[in-house]
Structure 1
Amino acid sequence: MSHTSTATPAAFPLTIHPHWRAAAEARGFGILQRVKDRYHLLLSCKACGATHMSKIFVVMNSQPQCPRCIEARWQADAEAAGLQWAGRDPQSRHHGFYIADCRHRLRRQFELIKRAAAGTCDVRCELCQQQKEQEEAEAQGWELIGPDPDGGPNYRLYRHPECGHEQRVARANMQTGRFGCGLCGEDWPAAPSHLYAMQFKLLNGTCLVKLGFSRNPDSRLRHQLLKHRDLDAKILKTVPMATGQLALQTEKRLHAKLQAGFPDLVAPPDLYAGELRVKSEVYFADAAQVIFAMLDAIEPEEDS
């Protein structure tokens, strides 16, 4: 009695049509076999040799993406951005994990890392950034609480330990100390201030002087007036004033004298607009001696 063996038929067709192979080859892949069901193919990447499963529809109508090549690009972007690749986020197809130089683990969008790799943005560690901002606050006698409750990207919420007052402050102002406590601090009209004379040497070699007033002339010079930090600039003279209000009134009186008595020494704003963040009350260098004499005459008034 003879027995005839019969092969179990495949659950789906195994035929690979020539036009499928041609489409796959044109897109950088070879077709190894049909898998899973009648709609899927097992592809081999011509670039790296890795295999992955793809729908026939994708092979015929769009560009298949090799998972290994994609991850290699993510890793290359991470290295170019100064990070170490630590794997994709299984919870999000748009995010990956990275190790920063500080050894902290970051979760970032792939697109952000690509921009960082191209040099169009930076990747900051939140933990290190928070520590830096806390140190900035401590240097001014404050404590960092957290982000701005109103959502301002340039503001933070701080606490003044001396009185417990909590206050929104621009981070730039916290860095330079150009603010006061809303509960126990003095407003600028009542707070001590200074008149100052400053000198600027523009990139074209022109020397200018400015007369003004500020609670903190050095901070005013370094953090507010200059558009370029490397501009040659210095404080020539300061005169302490009892209050900001008195400093303002005196400054206006001196400018009126200068502009009435020495109109040819007033520098046109167009001359310095690209290098200074002010639009008036700037003079040519020849006005320096006149300004010094005015400031010297004020000092006995303040001492009397």
Structure 2
Amino acid sequence: MYPGLLHAHWIDEAEAKGFTLIDRVWDRLHVLLECKACGSQDVVRVSVLMGFQPICHACKTDRWHDTAEAAGLEYLRRDAHDRHYGIFRAPCGHELRRQFGLIERMAQGETGFRCAICQAGTEAAEAERRCWQLLGPDHEGDPNYRLYRHSCGHEQRVARVNMQTGRFQCGKCGPAWPAAPNNLYALRFVLGDGTTVVKLGHSNDPESRLHHQLRLRDDLPADLLKTVPMASGSAALRIEKRLHATLRRRFPWAVLPAERFRGVIKVTTEVYDGRLEPIVLAALDAIEARARRRPCPRG
């Protein structure tokens, strides 16, 4: 405590701002205030009391806890090096360092959060499924790219979306698509008006082709009906072109105009009326049977 008078205008100012003036402390410039809301005490300068709204740190901490909870996090403590940041625990159990302002925006539903540790694990698993190892961020600073190492030892920048879909090759050991193994495929889509259509094509990864390229709406019913492995992309393309030519010649009524599926399937041609599905599948069955009788080695 510090000896001296408690001036009446100090007492009135403290009352008006939600505090009780307890005493003078430390020196002539500081006083001890007690929060009327929670009962905790804080030391403030007289100039702060008279010219500003004093802060109850206990109430402020409670607000941080409440805001973090509304944002789906747990408030742990303030950052030791920057008063604008706090340390929070995410639902996954990892600790996050985030600005308090960002936590308030999260609590209001304006933005979300991402755990960098979990995100790195997700991206590492994506790479491992394709025989690559995640090394870290892109050395050129592009946020859409990562640096990976292939099982052959080659290091390469790859867009993350391409690592997810498999639509890329190793720059050292990967063959170009005309020589690489490929597949013919048949897909079924159900348009918004209930019309069933069939798509015939070729791809090194038909599942990826369906989910990451062709289907523009997640709610569009779609199925991969059949795939036929081919020895190379050039062989798949050659056979696919022959099939399309035959289908257009024999069943011109089944060739759908692009406006029928624009905005839901990301192609402009080679989509047919669903009544042609048995014929397309029979053609693929015949191609598959011939391939079994005369297998081609894969490169």
Query: TM range, normalised to the smaller chain?
Result: 0.7 to 0.9
Once the two structures are superposed, the pairs formed by residues 75-94 of structure 1 within 5 Å of their partners are 75-94=65-84
Give the CA deviation at 1:294: 5.3
Alignment-derived partner of residue 297 in structure 2: none
Structure 2 equivalent of residue 138 of structure 1: 128
| Partner residue in 2 for 1:213 | 202
List alignment gaps of at least 5 residues for structure 2: 295-299
Contact 2:255–2:270 (CA under 8 A) maintained in structure 1: no
The answer to whether the aligner puts 1:284 opposite 2:276 as a matched pair is no
**Shift in Å, 1:166:** 0.4
Contact preservation (8 Å) 1:195, 1:238: yes
Aligned residues: 290
The structure-2 alpha-carbon separation of the partners of 1:216 and 1:42, relative to structure 1 and needing over 3 Å to count, comes to same
Displacement after TM superposition at 1:164 (Å)? 1.0
The farther-off stretch of 277-286 and 178-187 is 277-286
Amino acid of the structure 2 residue aligned with 1:122: F
Range 261-270 or range 103-112, more displaced: 261-270
TM-score normalised according to structure 1 size: 0.77
Q: CA RMSD in A?
A: 3.5
Q: CA deviation at 1:169?
A: 1.8
Distance 1:26 1:205, change over 3 A: farther
Aligned equivalents of 1:156, 1:289: Cα separation in 2: 43
Distance verdict in 2 for CA 1:52–1:252, change over 3 Å: farther
Query: 1:23-75: per-residue Cα shift (whole Å, max 9, x none)?
Result: x5555444445555666554433332323344556556654432222211222
Which is worse superposed, 99-108 or 191-200?
A: 99-108
Cα shift at 1:92: 0.7
The answer to whether residue 140 in structure 2 is matched with residue 150 in structure 1 is yes
Out of 42, 50, 65, which is 1:52 matched to?
Answer: 42
The 1:292/1:105 distance shift into structure 2, 3 A limit, reads: closer
Which of 9, 31, 34 lines up with 1:17 in the alignment?
9
- Please state how far the C-alpha of 1:207 moved relative to its aligned partner: 1.8
Contact residue 50 and residue 66 of structure 1 kept, 8 A: yes
Once the two structures are TM-superposed, the CA of residue 215 in structure 1 deviates from its matched residue by: 0.5
2:114 to 104, 114, 123: 123
Q: Which of residues 43, 47, 56 in structure 2 aligns to 1:66?
A: 56
- 2:150 pairs, out of 140, 148, 160, with 160
- The percent identity for this pair of structures is 51
Bigger shift: residues 277-286 or 87-96: 277-286
Stretches of structure 1 that go unaligned for 5 or more consecutive residues are: 1-7
Indicate yes or no: 2:258 matched with 1:268: yes
Give the structure-2-normalised TM-score: 0.78
- TM-superposed deviation, 1:129: 3.0
Instruction: Give the deviation of 1:284 after TM superposition.
Output: 3.1
